[in-house]
Amino acid sequence: MLKVLEHIPAGLLSAAPAELATLLGGPTLIHLPGRRTPALFTSVLLHGNEDVGLLAVQQLLARYRERELPRALSIFIGNVAAARHGLRRLDAQPDYNRVWPGGVTRESPERQMMSEIVDNMRDRGVFASIDLHNNTGLNPHYGCVNRLDPSFLHLATLFSRTVVYFTEPPGVQSRAFADLCPAVTIECGKPGSPGSDTHAAEFLEAALHLSEFPQHPVAAHDIDLYHTVATVKVPDNIDFSFGPGPAALQFEPDLDHLNFRELAAGTRFARILSKASAPLHIPDASGGNRWQEFFTLADGNLVLRRPLMPSMLTLDQRIIRQDCLCYLMERLPMPGI
């Protein structure tokens, strides 16, 4: 399933995401030489509708068309089949960012491929890992880490002072690479948002120029650190809409404007028109539902039970069904401060 190359394929630097399935023939790992080793690893298009990683890599490689890269670079171009159709994933596919080692999904060709990539990079050695993403809601640019080590936080703040620490869901790329090197997931706003691909390309170039990571902590005034405390899903048996309508769960029509805002207890997320016992599903470690830890019902409204900050709120119903409605976060003090 995985193709491995040691050169830039003809046409890659100008190809649109929809053209990659034909150009590459499938998911592809490209190893390129540079002045320093080991390589910087970056993954793009793990979700086929998120093109910022491809555009950033194209910008970066165009800058170095006639020059040696500052550091070796390994690029994984992921779900080209979904990219052909502009979709996060095809209905018959697993999520390419849930099948990395450490996940709980069933065995599949995609899961085997991700294990092969991790093994390949472990054998070659890897300096750092950057997984590039867009999202569908109104979010700032921010970085995500799975460990609070100084090297991880320094890498994340090279992109943005806004950093999110998360440990769920399992099976994501950054968690798999965290055992090998400093690893971050980078969120670059909506596809096509002005300057997002340039920001991502500049971040990749800055990471390529690093010789090592500082071991001292990131200064508290240089970082806004949050941690994810819940993943919010809509149960499959609950129909929902944004704004008025016949749906049992009617979210606020501008719900995505609440992303990265510190919300007070009692903030309304939705109107409830049914007597569903659990309008939301917030899984715990054993698979139970802890939605009432974070939300409550008041006069037919679904409201926050305590102060929280959401991220990744989206109005895209397909994405909500395939992934989640949002994540809930709280501020996190800097380690050791």
Which domains are present in the chain? Answer: 3-222 (3.40.630.10), 229-331 (no CATH)
Over residues 231-265, the pLDDT tens digits come to 999 999 999 999 888 899 999 999 999 999 999 99
Q: Are 191 and 52 in contact (CB under 8 A)?
A: yes
pLDDT average, residue stretch 157-171: 95
145 - beta bridge partners? 165
* Single-letter amino acid, residue 43: S
What's the pLDDT score for residue 336? Answer: 59
**317 — phi, psi (to 5°)?**
-65, -35
pLDDT average, residue stretch 145-171: 96
Q: Are 105 and 94 in contact (CB under 8 A)?
A: yes
| Token pair recorded at residue 258 | 């609440």
Is residue 129 scored above 90 in pLDDT? yes
Is residue 276 scored above 80 in pLDDT? no
* Runs of H (alpha helix) within 240-297: none
Place of tokens 């150009």: 23
Share of the chain above pLDDT 90, in %: 91
- Distance between CA 131 and CA 147 in Å, rounded? 15
Q: Are 330 and 320 in contact (CB under 8 A)?
A: no
More confident of the two residues 170 and 203 = 203
Over residues 187-227, the pLDDT tens digits come to 999 999 999 999 999 999 999 999 999 989 999 999 999 99
Binning pLDDT at 50, 70 and 90, where does residue 337 land?
Answer: very low
What's the pLDDT score for residue 277? Answer: 80
Contacts of 212 (CB under 8 A, 6+ apart): none
Share of the chain above pLDDT 70, in %: 99
Contacts of 29 (CB under 8 A, 6+ apart): 2, 3, 4, 5, 74, 75, 76, 77, 117, 120
Is residue 307 scored above 70 in pLDDT? yes
Q: Are 160 and 218 in contact (CB under 8 A)?
A: no
Q: Are 48 and 18 in contact (CB under 8 A)?
A: no
What's the pLDDT score for residue 239? Answer: 94
Please give the mean pLDDT across all residues of the chain.
95
